[in-house]
Structure 1
Amino acid sequence: MKQPVVVGVDYGTLSGRAVVVAVEDGAELGSAVLEYPHGVVERRLPSGVPLGDSWALQMPADWLQVLEETVPAALAAAGVRPDQVIGIGTDFTACTVLPALADGTPLCGLDDLRDRPHAHPKLWKHHAAQGQADRINALAEARGEAWLPRYGGKISSEWQFAKALQVHEEDPEVFARAERWIEAADWIVWHLTGTETRNLCTAGYKGIHQDGYPSEEYLEALSPGFSALLEKIGHPLSPMGARAGGLSADGAALTGLPEGIAVAVGNVDAHVTAVAAQAIGPGQMLMVMGTSTCHVMNSDVLAEVPGMCGVVKDGIVPGLWGYEAGQSGVGDIFAWHLRGGLPADYAAEAAERGLSWHELLTEKAAMQAVGEHGLVALDWHNGNRSVLVDHHLSGVLAGATLATRSEDVYRALLEATAFGTRTIIEAFEKAGVGVTELVVAGGLLRSPFLMQLYADVTRRPLSTLDSEQGPALGSAIHAAVAAGAHPDVHTASRAMGKIRRNAYVPDPARADAYEPLFAIYTELHDHFGRNTDLLHRLHGLRTAAGAGS
């Protein structure tokens, strides 16, 4: 037998990818990607049934197609035989959650429910449950629920309980027929092994599990009958890096891999990337930057950090407190501007020079001095995950004039996301949780200008993941541990992870120049996020107008 390898499969927002990795040193031998055939379902179901405002669904068949197509293709690209594979690991966006029967069948796969929106998986960026999240938070605060401070004082509309409460209230039949309410991260592992498992990571960060779930009494006070959710989510929790089981006959037929090889328990895309980037020590904040940004960090300190997405013991790696924060829109915001804010002559210039629209605007923006555009933006086009935890907030642009150009707005949006990250870092440090190093992973690593901008704004050097397949590599590392090739995730990370230390260092002059802009950002942040309901009123008007059209 040639060298043993593992397969990591990463389920992102728009696509899934598989990578074949050498167990010994983490060498990435081959990969393959599949764009989801249905993408993100936001306007209407494939059958034509319309969806409401802020909906975002996905199709389980797309997830299975990723396994069927990318795993064999990655093996072929690597020149690796299936019998060399000793394990497979997967990761998923979260909270991406679905209702299912007791055998794992998604409710949207049933003939009489396929046209019911609530029978489908809700993607992480499904924000239509904000009203439910508000009530969860208000009641928990009024009752003094002990778990609320562990989540910075607010539960997000993106998470399991808010989404489940929306189903319970808007389609009680779907809620009643759901025998399982399960994260996609666990559902895909169930499909591979034939055995249901639940991982500690998604339960802790997305399922409000802190030495147990919220009480039956609390859930009944929230909405009569809602405590039935506890039966749908109740299951022993598995630690990260554990073996969920062996690959079943059905899983082997789907992937082309040998039956019985190790399958790692499910994990979250951002959290699993920490081991790939060797960012698992106390104070190392990993930023996984793509359509959104997820900030994860381990610490030996337990603190209540306002607006955090949770702190969970052993949630990322064993032995430390794992923290999570995030920004709901980053790359999505840049893409939004390009869709509607690129002049025709700029598009023609990009085509003539063989540049992408991103590359052209980045080039033009990079020619400016800090503050030259006279703009400050708020990066809330997809709501605010941290530190305000409010998905009814929206973007703001201040300082625009008739002379404002497309590249001015583009740069202001880039800067806004960096300011948002600095706001998160400062929240950690004010709570006594030190941030000693920033490590960056994700697709936005491809922009050196953006990376340097983040170093300047945060006044910290940035290390970078030395791989384009961070989550998939992280899942492969967990698969190696599940297969027994390494004794624990710490050892496996040292052997298989990849990092470039201090790839970007802050420029002192630019860092100083950003201080007055960040001060204005902070003033706008607190005004629109805390001191006025103006953006909420605008959201209400938009929602009402959409409902009436």
Structure 2
Amino acid sequence: MVGVDFGTLSGRAVVVRVADGAELGSAVHEYADRVIEHTLPGTDVRLGPDWALQSPQDWIDVLRLAVPAAVAAAGISPADVIGVGTDFTACTVLPATAEGTPLCFETPERPHAWPKLWKHHAAQPHADRINELAARRGETWLPRYGGKISSEWQFAKALQLLEEDPETYARAERWIEAADWIVWQLTGVETRNTCTAGYKGIFQDGAYPSEDFLAELDPAFAGFTGKLGRELAPLGGLAGHLTARAAEWTKLPEGIAVAVGNVDAHVTAAAADAVRPGRMVAIMGTSTCHIMPSDRLAEVPGMCGVVRDGIVPGLWGYEAGQSAVGDIFAWFVDSFDGSHEELTALAEKQAVGAHGLVALDWFGGNRSVLVDHDLSGVIVGLTLATRPEDVYRALIESTAYGARMIVETFERSGVPVEEFVVAGGLLKNRFLMQVYADVLRRPLSVIGSDQGPALGSAIHAAVAAGAYPGIEPAAAAMGKRTEAAYLPDQARADAYDRLYAEYRTLHDFFGDGRMLHTLRAIRNEAGR
């Protein structure tokens, strides 16, 4: 099997053995355009604050370059590959023609013609309007998303497209998640997966928001769901077979199975064999996504969504998240001329609380539990004696406090978290993992793969190809994790309880947004 993971800055392909999930070879392709945040490629067209776009050509290049390289690295014949699975960041969404051509290929000078990356937050005012109207009308789908939908999601981004570039909106015959678009390119068949439709497209109980609701937002928005497609494909399902064109790109056999698309975080549950109720997987990278299957339905304040069949068919799937985690640490290192290794070595020598700081982890806004991407980071306790390693440690701790806030919110709402499993690139930082165990006051299990999303996609491909009857048995055979790899230290956990109480105080004080929204507005007015 080949699993292909399309990330924020790069795409990676992994060749996986069907029998036991052994990873035989891998390759990475760095996107040429990375994240488009300031100027459109090849133009002098500047973007506004909080924009984040990507290029579909970068995604095609992953198929052309990373997939053949991974197969070569595995030392196998391409003829041995029986299926392909893919996953994507979400909500990364693009306008396209009815044939699947991205509009940015036709009008590259128009910002709204380009795919909006998950971290595009410029649609926050549109999300606010959707939330206010849904609350006023008592829309039954709103509690399924913790009471607020995000600016990152399909409807907010689409409403921004309509109102800021109605011509491009009218030309967009399809508004499609990149997760489904890439499968379309592989199979020649347009499909829509249950995961992105439910979590990012407000599809609940068999329907999208009503035409009446959309018309009240903007009369021209009434027919928006016609751009989304109607038939949803189940996770682990067969989307189609590899076309001749895609076979030429990937150098894989024409006609092999292609799995239904999925989200990078959600598919990682299979890679960690965490597809049973109560196992929360935190996929920690530039951001963190917390996903968990459950056999019970509850309304959890500030969660990103609960979707039937959203992670595993037959179970409710919950999602929450933090908009920035690794991005926070990278910002500090890049801005203050340090290194992760040096700062970590200094920070881990400190006693808990010795730096005298507490920070809010909102440098990329708050995804859960406040769902407000116009919030921003806060650091309290700075003095003339504060050193870089003090701030670095406080930032690490702030993200752990944010994770604890999410876990406690789930459990207060009657959805128990029985096991906390960590995946993603930040797993390599042992100090950070120990901080999380101490702050959360619970053991951390860790995934047994450095390529969780790609492995999870390969597991789904194995199901689509018929090698396993379902995701659960495939995950049991091919997934891997180490239980209780990090254990909390009682003394440190007690000390962190005091700091966490101060974090909660700051969280509640700044969470209303009055000061932080004002500061952001002043910044935007100044033309940054």
TMscore range, shorter length? over 0.9
**Secondary structure, in 3 states, of the residue corresponding to 1:427?**
helix
The whole-number CA distance in structure 1 between the counterparts of 2:333 and 2:241 is 46
Alignment partner, residue 74 of structure 2? 78
* Selected match of 1:41 from 30, 36, 42: 36
Task: Name the aligned partner's letter for residue 201 of structure 1.
Answer: C
Alignment of 1:91-102 (within 5 A): 91-102=87-98
Task: Name the aligned partner's letter for residue 233 of structure 1.
Answer: L
CA shift digits 1:353-393 (9 cap, x unpaired): xxxx1011000000000000000000000000000000000
1:469 aligns with 2:437: no
Contact 1:87–1:262 (CA under 8 A) maintained in structure 2:
yes
Contact 1:197–1:235 (CA under 8 A) maintained in structure 2:
no
Over 6 Å off, 4+ runs: none
Alignment partner, residue 12 of structure 1? 7
**Secondary structure, in 3 states, of the residue corresponding to 2:83?**
strand
1:137 aligns with 2:131: yes
Alignment partner, residue 354 of structure 1? none
Alignment partner, residue 299 of structure 1? 294
1:490 aligns with 2:491: no
Q: 44-53 vs 190-199, which deviates more?
A: 44-53
Task: Name the aligned partner's letter for residue 527 of structure 1.
Answer: F
Deviation at 1:229, TM superposition (A): 1.3
1:420 aligns with 2:402: yes
The whole-number CA distance in structure 1 between the counterparts of 2:230 and 2:249 is 26
Alignment partner, residue 147 of structure 2? 153
The whole-number CA distance in structure 2 between the counterparts of 1:134 and 1:174 is 23
The whole-number CA distance in structure 1 between the counterparts of 2:23 and 2:245 is 27
Alignment partner, residue 180 of structure 1? 174
Task: Name the aligned partner's letter for residue 111 of structure 2.
Answer: P
The whole-number CA distance in structure 1 between the counterparts of 2:236 and 2:366 is 31
CA shift digits 1:130-154 (9 cap, x unpaired): 0000000000000000000000000
User: Percent identity between the aligned chains?
Assistant: 69
RMSD of Structure 2 on Structure 1 (CA) = 0.7
Deviation at 1:301, TM superposition (A): 1.1
CA shift digits 1:43-67 (9 cap, x unpaired): 0101221000000000000000000
* Selected match of 1:249 from 239, 244, 248: 244
Contact 1:43–1:52 (CA under 8 A) maintained in structure 2:
yes
Alignment partner, residue 317 of structure 1? 312
Task: Name the aligned partner's letter for residue 546 of structure 1.
Answer: G
Task: Name the aligned partner's letter for residue 450 of structure 2.
Answer: E
1:195 aligns with 2:189: yes
Task: Name the aligned partner's letter for residue 57 of structure 1.
Answer: L
Deviation at 1:429, TM superposition (A): 0.6
CA shift digits 1:80-102 (9 cap, x unpaired): 11110000000000000000000
Alignment partner, residue 235 of structure 1? 230
The whole-number CA distance in structure 1 between the counterparts of 2:279 and 2:225 is 35
Contact 1:381–1:395 (CA under 8 A) maintained in structure 2:
yes
Deviation at 1:23, TM superposition (A): 0.3
* Selected match of 1:503 from 460, 475, 485: 485
**Secondary structure, in 3 states, of the residue corresponding to 1:463?**
strand
* Selected match of 2:515 from 534, 537, 540: 534
* Selected match of 1:258 from 253, 267, 274: 253
**Secondary structure, in 3 states, of the residue corresponding to 2:527?**
helix
**Secondary structure, in 3 states, of the residue corresponding to 1:98?**
strand
The whole-number CA distance in structure 2 between the counterparts of 1:203 and 1:318 is 14
1:380 aligns with 2:375: no
1:270 aligns with 2:265: yes
Alignment partner, residue 457 of structure 1? 439
The whole-number CA distance in structure 1 between the counterparts of 2:44 and 2:60 is 23
CA shift digits 1:23-59 (9 cap, x unpaired): 0000000000011000000001012210000000000
**Secondary structure, in 3 states, of the residue corresponding to 2:472?**
helix
Alignment partner, residue 379 of structure 2? 397
CA shift digits 1:202-255 (9 cap, x unpaired): 000000000210000000001111022111002200010000001011111111
The whole-number CA distance in structure 2 between the counterparts of 1:174 and 1:73 is 37
The whole-number CA distance in structure 2 between the counterparts of 1:496 and 1:81 is 21
Alignment partner, residue 391 of structure 2? 409
Alignment partner, residue 89 of structure 1? 85
**Secondary structure, in 3 states, of the residue corresponding to 2:319?**
strand
Q: What runs of 5+ residues in structure 2 fail to find an aligned partner? A: none
Alignment partner, residue 119 of structure 1? 113
Task: Name the aligned partner's letter for residue 436 of structure 1.
Answer: E
1:109 aligns with 2:90: no
The whole-number CA distance in structure 2 between the counterparts of 1:426 and 1:165 is 33
The whole-number CA distance in structure 2 between the counterparts of 1:390 and 1:466 is 33
Alignment of 1:275-354 (within 5 A): 275-342=270-337, 347=338
* Selected match of 2:420 from 438, 446, 460: 438
Task: Name the aligned partner's letter for residue 165 of structure 2.
Answer: D
Task: Name the aligned partner's letter for residue 262 of structure 1.
Answer: A
1:220 aligns with 2:180: no
The whole-number CA distance in structure 2 between the counterparts of 1:483 and 1:421 is 36
The whole-number CA distance in structure 2 between the counterparts of 1:51 and 1:42 is 7
The whole-number CA distance in structure 2 between the counterparts of 1:239 and 1:455 is 35
The whole-number CA distance in structure 2 between the counterparts of 1:428 and 1:48 is 46
Task: Name the aligned partner's letter for residue 358 of structure 1.
Answer: H
* Selected match of 1:522 from 496, 504, 513: 504
The whole-number CA distance in structure 1 between the counterparts of 2:31 and 2:362 is 26
The whole-number CA distance in structure 1 between the counterparts of 2:315 and 2:257 is 25
Q: What runs of 5+ residues in structure 1 fail to find an aligned partner? A: 1-5, 348-356
TM-score normalised by L of structure 2: 0.99
Task: Name the aligned partner's letter for residue 320 of structure 2.
Answer: A
Task: Name the aligned partner's letter for residue 545 of structure 1.
Answer: A
Contact 1:314–1:320 (CA under 8 A) maintained in structure 2:
yes
Deviation at 1:114, TM superposition (A): 1.0
Deviation at 1:341, TM superposition (A): 2.3
Deviation at 1:281, TM superposition (A): 1.3
The whole-number CA distance in structure 2 between the counterparts of 1:492 and 1:237 is 22
